[in-house]
Amino acid sequence: MNFLQGDCLIQLPKLEAASMDLVVTSPPYNLGINYKSFKDTAPRGEFLSWCRQWAAELKRVMADDASFFLNVGAAPANPLMPHQLILALTDGSGPLFTLQNTFHWVKSITIETRANEQISAGHFKPINSKRFVNDCHEYVFHLTKNGNVDLDRRAAGVPYADKSNISRWGHTGGEDLRCRGNTWFIPYETIQSRDKERPHPATFPVALVEQCILIHGKRAATRLLDPFLGIGTSAIAAHRQKIANFTGIELDPYYLETARERLHDEITRQSNDLFSGNL
């Protein structure tokens, strides 16, 4: 595990070209979020120009068959930001990437069963508004250099609800596992104290990063990069997936130290579970 403290525009050029297989990250959203060491209120044009700068460096360090999973949220009063960002990276003169897939990270959902029962699952931050509804999802854009990167679609798959489909569809090979599709329900883990367990204003769950690792398909051999490490969620996901070649970059020294502590706690917990026979 390689943790680098500093501006990603300074640290990324130090990395070798074509040295990464997978990038999973969530940059500042330009929505006025209160980070410790980053002002998230730049004019939109300035913000998009900055994003193109670090994205160009990401393209340089990515192998030709690498995947870049970009998690971006929005605000009900500012819904265009994710779309403006993805257009800045994929459209116009000199596009940097091809948008190969768009995933919807669903944080909370209510479904109705066949027995007309309503079941709610997940967590969301409620908003008090007469104009907007609660925002229960974010985007995960899957970007590649040419749009032709093969994925292990069933590595992050789900069992068939209708078991007759196992034999009906030839591509299953008789295995009860199908592609999950582009809608990922991944709730946040319940926490007791935000200050202690999630001291960062914009995090994603470990399982979200694991989903990206699995679907990209290189497993433990993956060379994984997160240029906006935050409090180290992607590093924990890398450890859980037995990935040793991980690089994380973080501007804020407090967040970086928190990332180191969280990874240490994760390694200690796994060691204790292994010793006690829980794994």
- pLDDT per residue over 221-238, tens digit each? 999 999 999 999 999 999
Name the least confident of 16-30, 183-197, 200-214, 264-278. Answer: 183-197
Residue type, 102: T
- Give the whole-angstrom CA distance, residue 246 versus residue 242: 10
Q: Which of 109, 29, 134 is nearest to 71 (CA)?
A: 29
Please, what is the average pLDDT of the chain?
Answer: 87
- Give the whole-angstrom CA distance, residue 11 versus residue 64: 21
Percentage of the chain with pLDDT > 90?
Answer: 62
Please give the average per-residue pLDDT across 129-141, as a whole number: 92
Is residue 24 within 8 A of residue 69, CB to CB? The reply is yes
Residue 248: other Cβ atoms inside 10 A? 27
**Which residue segments constitute the domains of the chain, with CATH numbers given?**
2-276 (3.40.50.150)
